[in-house]
Amino acid sequence: MSEKLPSREQALNLLRESGCSQNVIKHCEAVAELALEIAKKCVEKGLNVNLEL
């Protein structure tokens, strides 16, 4: 991937600046947290997962 992804804080700022409600932002944070938990379990099972994404 040649494009640099925004940091977590940059992504949250983009959501705020675009007018997303706080409920949507909280949902996005919850989804990201769950995705990281799933990704870590995949790594434990030997799968190649980029946890920084």
Q: What is the pTM of this model?
A: 0.78
- 53 located within any domain: no
- 7 located within any domain: no
Number of domains in the chain: 1
Read off the pLDDT of residues 30-47 as tens digits, 9 standing for 90 and up. Answer: 999 999 999 999 999 999
Whole-number Å distance between alpha carbons of 35 and 49: 11
With bands split at pLDDT 50, 70 and 90, how would you rate the model's confidence at 2?
low
Task: Show the domain range for 30.
Answer: 21-45
What the block records as the tokens of 4 is 């640099």
- 38 located within any domain: yes
Distance (Å) of CA 25 to CA 5, 31, 37: 18, 10, 19
